[in-house]
Amino acid sequence: MQAIARSTLALPGLLLGLCLLCGLTSVQAAPAAAGHVIIARGEVQAISAAGEARDLRRRSPFYAGETLMTGTDATAQLRFSDGALVALRPDTEFRVDRYRYEAGGGEGDESISTLIKGGLRTITGAVGKQDPDSYRVDTPVATIGVRGTHYEAVVGAGLAVAVWQGGVTLRNEGGALNLGQGANYSFATIASADRPPRGQLQPPPGLKAPVDEFAPGGSDDPAGEEDGGEGEDQTAADTDATATDSGTADEDRQTSESTATTTGTGSEGDSATADSGDDTLVAPVSEADTLDAETSLDTTTDTTLSGTTTDTTLDTTFTVSEPVDTVSDITTQDARLSDTEWQQLYSGSHLGLILEANSATQGMRGGRAIADPAGSPVFTENGYAPFEPEYADAPIKEVFRRGGAALDALGSHTVDSNHTVYWGVWNGNPDPVIIQTDATDPDVIRTSNKPFFWATLQPTDPAVLDARSGVVSYNNVIAVQGGGSGGQITAADVTFTLDVNFDTGAVSNGNLQIGNGAEYWNIDLAGQIKGSFADLEIEPTSSVTVSPSNYGVLGEVVTGFTGNNGEVLGGGFLLEAQGDPGIHAEGILLVD
């Protein structure tokens, strides 16, 4: 009986111990949440590695290993425990591959995620700031690493990236490209995993700059927070008093570092509601281009910067009505240009002019160029003059290369330490000049066996020209490299004069005379300053005489200002007798 009693008395204790042990084991095994949902609009789910789905709503936790998905008309905003903020576009899949964060910067902290499809905008948190190598977002075509930043990425058939603050590094099998702080570009596209990232000067379609506006106001709902927000997954306001997982905002740091400014006030709790219809990510951004771990999404800090009171809340609204579904939607990538050439072309300041002999009806070509003192520059043509508004974003139509053509002439003139003009002649006979005509296939070309006259220069800053005054006459011919039906044309064969009124921008009293064998060209010119150019028109009084006949003139004369003060005009002429294309003259012209 005593033994039985002893066993009976021991059983509850044994069961209690086992239960406590099981409970302890259960607590120890529970994974820490990577973060929680701030806003969930529409169908938002988390899919576990085992394929189990659960609906997400405001304040729902999410974990490493889960894939977060938004429906066709859904959006979500997430806050990671290190303070990182992520806004997901509709129809997005975002997997949290590995995540670890200990407040104060624990060894082994990391944030590794994958954007499978769709788009996101994010402000990185403490993990990315402490050790940029520990932060990464993978995509099907490239990896995005950060140097502390606020950026956006969209995956369609390719990848489009925009950096709004800080910097990122894009890397894939084709190469690597830095964007943002300290780099030449803030925007890029990638066509595929083996194609190098291509920097762009403007945001790709579907990526819009953060707008400085606020979503319609709402109201705090403490009661909803008490009950865990049940039924309020459509409410944008996250008024959790402990919304910052790792502390309160450091207002001194916000005051000293903030450069992102808007003209409104209000915290997240009163700046966005479910009924607003906007997809907003509201957060302070610092000049140091990271969010500190203690920076609160709900904290709005009024600061004084350069004597102006500003509000550091940044409303980064998505434009979700412009999905990026195809590579053609997101890229101006040009297969005719190497990565190095692309960067030289769009980060350099050179403009080029190239003209094909006896082609006045086709017109001159030119635009952005890669200068080469050795005589093999690269020229591009997009159909617009540099002073036309369409020029900045228009895709390249043609790329001109020397190919196997002989270099018949090469010259240069140094205007000042910042401006040198190079010019030359490519002789396409017998080996032709190459013109690449397809942006997707560099092997699609046309060739020409004609001579090509070309020049490259660095244009004068238009602001410098705007600041000049008075009337200046350009009438001293520095150099001419030309030819035509009458033979070679040199400076000795040419006179030129042009009056430029810097007060009104008018260009008048222009005249170009060329004596070329039996030909005598008399070209009257007038026009207007546009940007860095004297935009000229050939007057109806112009003529070419080949005794005993007299003809009108077709063609154009193009000149641009170069030098620190616009003291030199560089350009070219491409002329043809009206009614007789066999009579022609073309060449490069430099005057001061």
Write out pLDDT tens, residues 220-237: 333 333 333 333 343 333
Distance CA 154, CA 115 (A): 8
**Quick one: pLDDT band at residue 333, thresholds 50, 70, 90?**
low
pLDDT of residue 363: 82
pLDDT tens-digit profile of 179-232?
A: 887 777 888 999 898 889 988 877 887 776 554 322 333 333 333 333 333 333
DSSP conformational letter for 52: -
**Under 8 Å CB-to-CB from 429, ≥6 apart: which residues?**
449, 450, 451
Residues in the chain: 592
Q: Over 50: is that where the pLDDT of 547 sits?
A: yes
Distance CA 531, CA 565 (A): 13
Average pLDDT value for the chain: 77
pLDDT of residue 290: 29
pLDDT of residue 329: 32
Please give the torsion angle defined by the CA atoms of residues 169, 172, 174 and 176, in that order, rounded to the nearest 10 degrees. Answer: 10
Distance CA 146, CA 168 (A): 4
pLDDT tens-digit profile of 372-427?
A: 999 999 999 999 899 888 888 889 999 999 999 999 999 999 999 999 999 999 99
Q: Cα 268 from chain centroid?
A: 29
Judge whether 197 and 177 are in contact, CB under 8 Å: yes
Distance CA 355, CA 374 (A): 19
pLDDT tens-digit profile of 313-326?
A: 223 333 322 333 33
Q: Tell which residue, 528, 500, 587, 530, has the closest CA to residue 391.
A: 530
Fold of 35-200: Jelly Rolls (2.60.120)
Per-domain boundaries in the chain: 35-200, 339-591
3-state secondary structure of 29: helix
pLDDT more than 90, % of the chain: 52
* Angle, CA 564 vertex, CA 560 and CA 570 arms, to 5°: 25
Distance CA 311, CA 314 (A): 8
Query: Which carries the bigger pLDDT value, residue 270 or residue 188?
Result: 188
Question: For residue 82, how many other CB atoms are within 10 A of its CB?
Answer: 28
3-state secondary structure of 6: helix
Q: What's the whole-model pTM score? A: 0.48
Phi, psi of 24, rounded to the nearest 5 degrees: -65, -45
Phi, psi of 378, rounded to the nearest 5 degrees: -120, 130
Distance CA 106, CA 294 (A): 15
pLDDT of residue 430: 92
